[in-house]
Amino acid sequence: MTKTSVYLSDEDVERLALLAQREGTSQAEVIRRAINQYRPQGRGDRHFTVAASGQGSGRSIADVPEEEQLAGFGS
């Protein structure tokens, strides 16, 4: 195991101490558990994130009657 240092705000220091006390463990263990639970939000392939995400009839919007397009937009 390697020792490291982190800078925390006063609020985070208090929160870390409280969490460690509540769990009956060390502050270092609380941090290790948090790191192990951390799942970064993947950025994915930004160019194709919506490609093929919807299911449709395959009709062109030009072929859909105007009344059908406007259905649900007021009276």
pLDDT of residue 48: 64
Handedness of CA 12, 21, 24, 1 (dihedral sign): positive
* Rg value, the chain, Cα: 26
pLDDT of residue 15: 97
Q: Is the pTM here over 0.85, yes or no?
A: no
User: Which is higher by pLDDT, 39 or 27?
Assistant: 27
d(CA 20, CA 33): 11
User: pLDDT tens digits for 40-64?
Assistant: 776 666 666 666 666 677 778 888 8
pLDDT of residue 3: 92
Quickly count: other Cβ atoms within 10 Å of residue 30's Cβ: 19
